[in-house]
Amino acid sequence: MDKTFIRDLKVHAIIGVYDFERKHAQPLSFDIEMTSDLTKAGESDDLNYAINYAAVSQDVIDLTKSLKPQLIERLADAVAAMILEKYQPESVTIRISKPDAVAAASAVGVEITRSKNSQR
Ligand SMILES: Nc1nc2c(c(=O)[nH]1)N=C([C@H](O)[C@@H](O)CO)CN2
């Protein structure tokens, strides 16, 4: 299946379980892959048949800044649900990294995959 991807989308947002994390925004990085058939987009040269990665990026930034979740899992779930509903890919894989969360690690985070069929 064809893929549209967004790599290392950087967002500063409030996220975390601990009190100190709820006071200041911290950096997050998103890697997103959306599977869909891109044949029509390629044949027509028309953005309407593609998944607009610039629009997806802005929606991810807006949702991340407004959600203020405790868990990175909650954020991943919300972003996946938004993308599936609004952009209708066959599936979406979201990897979110928190580079400042664990001092001894370059990043920690989660990766989830959700598909049309697995939508609640
Ligand atoms: N699986 C998870 N583990 C942890 C999370 C999380 O969101 N998912 N969050 C934290 C804290 O907020 C952490 O980032 C501070 O170091 C701990 N573990």
Arithmetic mean of pLDDT over the chain: 97
Q: What is the pLDDT of residue 118?
A: 73
Out of 18, 72, 73, 106, give the residue to mutate to test ligand 1, the one with the largest number of ligand atoms within 8 Å of its CB. Answer: 72
Return the number of other C-beta atoms located less than 10 Å from residue 99's C-beta. 15
Residues with catalytic roles: 98
Q: What is the pLDDT of residue 101?
A: 96
Q: 10, 71 in Cβ contact below 8 A?
A: no
Average pLDDT over residues 43-58: 98
pTM of the model: 0.96
Q: Which residues line ligand 1 (CB under 6 A)?
A: 16-18, 21, 71-73, 98, 101-102
Q: What is the pLDDT of residue 119?
A: 55
Return the number of other C-beta atoms located less than 10 Å from residue 117's C-beta. 7
CATH class (in words) of the domain with range 3-118: alpha beta
Query: Could you report the per-residue pLDDT of 51-95, keeping only the tens digit for each?
Result: 999 999 999 999 999 999 999 999 999 999 999 999 999 999 999
Nearest CA to ligand 1 atom 13: 101
Q: Where are the domains of the chain?
A: 3-118
Indicate if the pLDDT at residue 109 is higher than 80: yes
Q: What is the pLDDT of residue 117?
A: 81
120 pLDDT band, cuts 50/70/90, is low
Structure-block tokens of residue 26? 């911290």
Indicate if the pLDDT at residue 26 is higher than 70: yes
